[in-house]
A and B are shown apart, each in its own frame.
Chain A
Amino acid sequence: MSNHKTMKQIRIHGRGGQGVVTAAELIAIAAFYEGHTSQAFPSFGVERTGAPIEAFARIDDKPIRTREHIYRPDFLIIQDATLLLAVDVAKGCNPKTIAIINTAKPKAEIKINLPMENIHAIDATKIALEEIGKNIVNTVILGAFAKTSGLISLKSLEKAIKQKFSEKGEEIISKNIKAITRAYNLTK
């Protein structure tokens, strides 16, 4: 369990239908199982498939009371790299903000206003297609987030997936766990 003194704020960017809200919820659930206090909530724009969507998660060791959206993230998760051209995803970031981006491109080709060493690229689409059989990257990228951030363990993330996907059945749960484990192990 990581020992952090200040609140950590995570902002997830994706598109409607990509499980953006679920990703934020999984982070909050996993953090809860780590013994932290946590919170997750969505910010829907228009509720339609493909529209840019943001979801937020906060992790702390004291009660979380604020409900405002996350304007100054410590972590950015970008589920869809095409958003880099459409939305100012780096808005409110500081020089320490870590970005985890789903892309097949090498880091040098990613257009985001953050120091190179803060950017983590992962081809989550490839892993999702191979392990889950669908282009649903929301869980996969969390494997990378767990490793990079050190805020949640792989074990807590597994537990969160089991809770959140309890009605989707064993097969989907085990495929997702395999996918997050692969992403976790691929991440430095």
Chain B
Amino acid sequence: MKISQKSQILEGSNAIAEVIKNIRPAVVSAYPITPQTHIVEDLAKMKADGQADFEYIRAESEFAAASIVAGASATGVRVYTATSSQGLLLMAEVIFNIAGMRLPVVLTCANRGVSAPITIWNDHQDAMTVRDAGWIMFFAENHQEAVEQHILAYKLAESLKLPVMVNIDGFVLTHSYESVIIPTAKEIKRFLPDYKPTKDEYLDIKNPISLGTFAAPPYYMEIREQLYRDLMNAENKINEEYQKLAKAIPGVIKPKEKMTKINDGLIEYYGPSNPKTVLIAMGSMVGTIKDVIDEANSNWLAKKMGLPTVALAKVGVLKIKCFRPFPADAILKIIKNARYVGVLEKAVSLGATEGPLAIEIKTAAHNQTKAKIQSFIVGLGGRDVTKDMIKKIIIEVKKKDDKIKFIGKV
């Protein structure tokens, strides 16, 4: 088996466009919005240069773009779209329809905050706002993980008949350069065969059917329950396909780091085996947290930096790669015997007592752990999540107060 392991240095958006090209969708439709724009510009250019043979359909809005890929997907072909922020919100009605019709659409959300006030910068408010729509939702830490999750997304979407959203932090990942391995179309095909829609389940003029039709009270509830259960049951399949991907295309998944104890399709745990404190986060800020964890657990370095060594020791970070379905059991195993759990997130549930991720963690932990779980809001609207903020949270989480905290300054 020959593997092209050549790493390249690319902009994050370009890396995603390259892997989408090699996944070979039949239809791409999008409306440009910062910070997603470079991805779809690159795809449009690949099409114009004859490097790709998909149909690129220019849309007049995100609502149209989502509708176009929904319609194309319903005819039984592989599709792709990407958006951010207000664009995702404008798509919202179609986002629910796509899941309800069980269409295997894959969408990249270059995460950005939501207006008002207007922000073009990164947070997770856009994705969190459509968390109940029925999509599998991945969050990537770095370029390589984004590449890996897009390939995985198509395999899961097409085998489970569930749409998948891959979330990548706007600017932090879309506009940054780092090295990445992009598997070739041939390598991807070993893991992801050509898409064949199920007979009698797609739009075909020779075999007419209807999709997304009216469901009266005797039927609607069962259909919704089935979607709920199918999405919940996707957990095993996600891990199974993750392992298969690692075997089929070596190099596409980053080698496991020394301090990483668990790494699968749903979560990664990085830190000591019996952590006293666990920080939980999603996306690119996990990279920064890992650096802090190394400092915190290394006493000599902590001393050198004038940090309270005892206060910082035995800290780990739990990265949630998959937010939907929510991997409650896997998370519980990590935090069960911890004393302090700090949930760091870039979104707010306005009017709720915790951030959206912290709500999930508290629900999973209810009556299962004695750990104190606290919600920390960071990085809204592009605020830099610094190492000093993370260190502050490690100290804050040990205090008695368990109310939600916004950490924007140190």
Contact = CB atoms under 8 A, between A and B. Distances in A.
Interface of A: 21, 24-25, 28-29, 32, 37-44, 47, 63-69, 71
Nearest to A47: B120
Given A42-B171, A65-B290, A66-B288, A32 B179 contact: yes
Contact of B285 (A28, A29, A67): A67
Contacts of A24: 177
A38 B9 CA distance: 9
Nearest to B176: A41
Interface string B113-140: 0000000110000000000000000000
B203 to A, nearest CB: 39
Task: Report whether over half of chain A's contact residues are helix, strand or loop; otherwise say mixed.
Answer: mixed
23 contacts: A21-B175, A25-B177, A28-B178, A29-B9, A32-B9, A32-B179, A37-B178, A38-B9, A39-B177, A40-B176, A41-B177, A42-B171, A42-B175, A44-B171, A47-B120, A63-B257, A64-B178, A66-B288, A66-B387, A67-B284, A67-B287, A68-B288, A68-B384
B9 A28 contact: yes
Contacts of A41: 171-172, 175-177
Contact of B385 (A40, A43, A67): A67
A158 B385 CA distance: 34
A39 B179 CA distance: 8
Contacts of A29: 9, 177
Contacts of B11: 25
B97 interface: no
Interface in B1-51: 9, 11
Contacts of B386: 68-69, 71
B401 interface: no
Nearest to B143: A39
Contacts of A28: 9, 177-178
Question: What 6 A-B pairs are tightest by C-beta distance, nearest first?
Answer: A65-B287, A41-B176, A32-B9, A40-B177, A28-B177, A66-B288
B291 interface: yes
Interface of B: 9, 11, 120-121, 142, 171-172, 175-179, 257, 284-285, 287-288, 290-291, 384-387
Contacts of A39: 176-178
Nearest to A41: B176
A44 B171 CA distance: 9
A36 B210 CA distance: 55
B288 A65 contact: yes
Most chain B CB atoms below 10 A, which of A24, A32, A67: A67
Interface centre among A21, A32, A69, A71 (most CB of B within 10 A): A32
Nearest to A27: B177
A42 B382 CA distance: 12
A29 B177 CA distance: 8
Given A32-B179, A44-B121, 19 more contacts: A25-B11, A25-B177, A29-B177, A38-B177, A38-B179, A39-B176, A39-B177, A41-B175, A41-B177, A44-B120, A44-B171, A63-B257, A66-B287, A66-B288, A67-B288, A67-B385, A68-B386, A68-B387, A71-B386
Contacts of A38: 9, 177-179
**Best-buried of B11, B177, B287, B288 by chain A (most CB within 10 Å):** B177
Nearest to A29: B9
Contacts of A67: 172, 176, 284-285, 287-288, 385
A41 B178 CA distance: 9
A66 B291 contact: yes
B31 to A, nearest CB: 19
Contacts of A63: 257
A24 B177 CA distance: 9
A141 to B, nearest CB: 18
